Structures are given as C-alpha cells and as structure tokens.
C-alpha cells in the first residue's frame, strides 16, 4: 500500500487511538480528530491533531479536506451500563457525526470511508439464550436491535449503502464484537465488561469479593485490540464493501471471563451477583466465515493472553493513582 493521507475520527478513544498509531508506523500521514482526549496512549501517535466537534458540518468539511481515506470511529458510546441508560443523546450525536462525515467525504472527494459498526445491530430474537448460534452478517434482518445504540449503527449502515448507490462513495463497514485490551476506558461508567471486571479484581482486597452484573451465565465473545486493528486495516485495503464481522467465535460466560481475570490476579476472590444490573442480550457470538473467506483474517491472540495484558495495564494505572 502506498503512503496515504488518512483521517481517523474518534482518535481520542480506545480503538481509534490504537488504529492511528498503527497507521502512523506504516508511514502514512495521519490526521486525528476528537472532541476530547483520554490520554492513555503515549503521544504522538499522529501527524496532525485537531480537537473539534464533528456534530458541526463545517468541522467535518475541514477534517476531510485533502484526505485519501477516512476511518470514522467517532461516537458517543460506552459499555452496557451506559448504552442502556442513554438513548436520545447517543442516537442524535452519532447520526449527526456519521451523516456529516459521509457528506463531507463526497464533497471533498475522499477515496474510501470506513465505518465502525457494532454487533449491537443484531436482532434480540437471535440472542435470547446463552448457547447462541454465531451471528452471521445476513442475520441483521429482520431488524430488532436490543438498544438505541444498535439502531443508530444499523441506520448508519443503510445510510452509507445509500451514499454508495447515489454518490459512488466507496465504503467499508466492520461490525465489531466486544473489542478489548490495554490503553482503553476502564473507569467512569463507559467501560466494557473486560475492563470493568479487570478493574474490580485489581481493586479488590485479597481475599475479597467482586460484583457480577446479572447471573454470570450470559455469554459473549471477545476480540483483542491488536487483532481488531489488523482486521480493520485489511478490510480497508480490500475490495470487499459489505458489512463484515470482526471479532472472536470463542464463546464464554461472564462467569468464565471473571474467573480468568481472578486467576491472572492470583487473588482469592468470590463473586456476588446483581440480578438487577444491566446485562444486555443473553448471548452473543460472532460468525467469522465471511471475514476468513474474503480477508483471510482470524484472531490470533487468545483470551487468556489478551486479558493478562489488559489486567496488568489496568493494575498499573490504579497503582499510579
């Protein structure tokens, strides 16, 4: 791939910052933009940094000017506790950002636009048991996401399909399944389950106790950040322009996830269950058939190794505090 002029939106966040750093190391010009910066990744990981609100169209026009590729990861989002509480703000903010970025890409003749969609687009009726079948891309319809965040992501997928049809905008869409790893949000209410559990275990006494949201029997699959970034870049470099799952097809219960982290910590910890806490769908797993066939991609870092890296990083952050 020749060196490109690349924009990464949402580069102050977890996936966006990791992606920008990788694109920089490949020798590209990387412009990053966000409305705030978490500061977990050591700077600089970019060629140019802009702090702007992408809910304003003029700002989207500015950041996409003289750019070849756009990776749009900007979003108002968080873990299950956040997206089950906040609906209107998530939908309003994200629809504005995604619409304005797409429109500005057309206006500024951007070569290709990547959109970070989510496994949250998949219908509730296919995720009602822990022993869930892996979700194929075609399972998205008939639509019935279980939260507003999922509806917003699915709407944007269809909107970009229309932009491709009407304006010839070249698009790539990844449906991320529970991406986790170090240098991401681990406190403040927007953290996702691996980071939340790592933080609980790291802060627990020894012996101690942690709280599990739900009964612990709900299931998920988790993809480590390095695998996610590799798959994202491979998708952007490919000719495949339909939505693709990027995730893992190893299904684990939340109980099993917590047990792995507890073992990594070396502590003696018991689990207490909060059945009134948000827990999302009962089960969710990724079918990787299409991504393996079209990109030759599959995850390489197993859950135990990924959680070890994540736990040790979060532990180091807590010790710094």
List, for residues 201-216, the tens digit of each pLDDT value: 999 999 999 999 999 9
234 and 306 together in one domain: no
Q: What is the per-residue pLDDT for 1?
A: 56
155 and 216 together in one domain: no
29 and 160 together in one domain: yes
Residue 84: pLDDT band (50, 70, 90) is confident
Looking at the domain assignment, is residue 296 inside a domain?
A: no
d(CA 24, CA 22): 5
Residue 164: pLDDT band (50, 70, 90) is very high
User: Residue 118: is its pLDDT beyond 90?
Assistant: yes
Place of tokens 């073992």: 263
Cα 233 to the chain's mean position, in Å?
14
Q: Name the catalytic one among 100, 149, 186, 311.
A: 149
Residue 42: pLDDT band (50, 70, 90) is confident
228 and 125 together in one domain: yes
User: 222 an active-site residue?
Assistant: no
d(CA 197, CA 175): 23
Count of structural domains within the chain: 2
Indicate which CATH number applies to the domain containing 132: 3.40.50.720
Looking at the domain assignment, is residue 109 inside a domain?
A: yes
Structural domain range at position 160: 5-179+223-246
Rg (CA), the chain: 19
214 and 228 together in one domain: no
Mean pLDDT over residues 62-77, rounded? Answer: 95
User: Residue 224: is its pLDDT beyond 60?
Assistant: yes
User: Residue 79: is its pLDDT beyond 80?
Assistant: no
Residue 220: pLDDT band (50, 70, 90) is very high
């Amino acid at each position: 791939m020749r060196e490109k002029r690349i924009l990464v939106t949402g580069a102050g966040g977890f996936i966006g910052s990791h992606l920008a750093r990788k694109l920089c190391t490949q020798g590209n010009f990387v412009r990053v933009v966000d409305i705030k910066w978490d500061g977990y990744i050591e700077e600089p990981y970019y060629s140019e940094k802009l702090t702007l609100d992408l809910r304003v169209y003029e700002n989207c026009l500015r950041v996409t000017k003289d750019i070849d590729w756009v990776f749009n990861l900007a979003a108002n989002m968080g873990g299950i506790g956040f997206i089950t509480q906040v609906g209107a703000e998530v939908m309003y903010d994200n629809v504005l950002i995604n619409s304005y970025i797409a429109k500005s890409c057309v206006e500024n003749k951007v070569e290709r636009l990547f959109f970070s969609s989510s496994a949250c687009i998949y219908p509730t009726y296919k995720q009602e048991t822990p022993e869930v079948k892996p979700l194929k891309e075609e399972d998205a319809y008939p639509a019935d996401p279980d939260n507003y965040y999922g509806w917003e992501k699915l709407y944007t997928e269809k909107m970009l399909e229309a932009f491709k049809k009407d304006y010839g905008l070249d698009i790539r869409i990844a449906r991320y399944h529970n991406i986790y790893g170090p240098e991401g949000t681990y406190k403040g209410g927007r953290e996702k389950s691996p980071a939340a559990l790592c933080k609980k275990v790291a802060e627990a006494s020894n012996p101690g106790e942690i709280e599990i949201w739900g009964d612990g029997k709900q299931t998920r699959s988790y993809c480590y950040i390095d695998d996610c970034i590799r798959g994202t870049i491979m998708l952007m470099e490919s000719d495949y322009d339909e939505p693709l799952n990027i995730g893992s097809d190893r299904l684990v219960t939340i109980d099993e996830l917590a047990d792995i982290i507890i073992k990594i910590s070396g502590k003696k910890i018991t689990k207490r269950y909060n059945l009134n806490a948000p827990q999302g769908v009962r089960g969710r797993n990724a079918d990787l058939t299409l991504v393996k066939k079209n990109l030759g991609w599959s995850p390489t870092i197993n859950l135990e190794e990924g959680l070890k890296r994540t736990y040790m990083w979060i532990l180091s952050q807590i010790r710094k505090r």
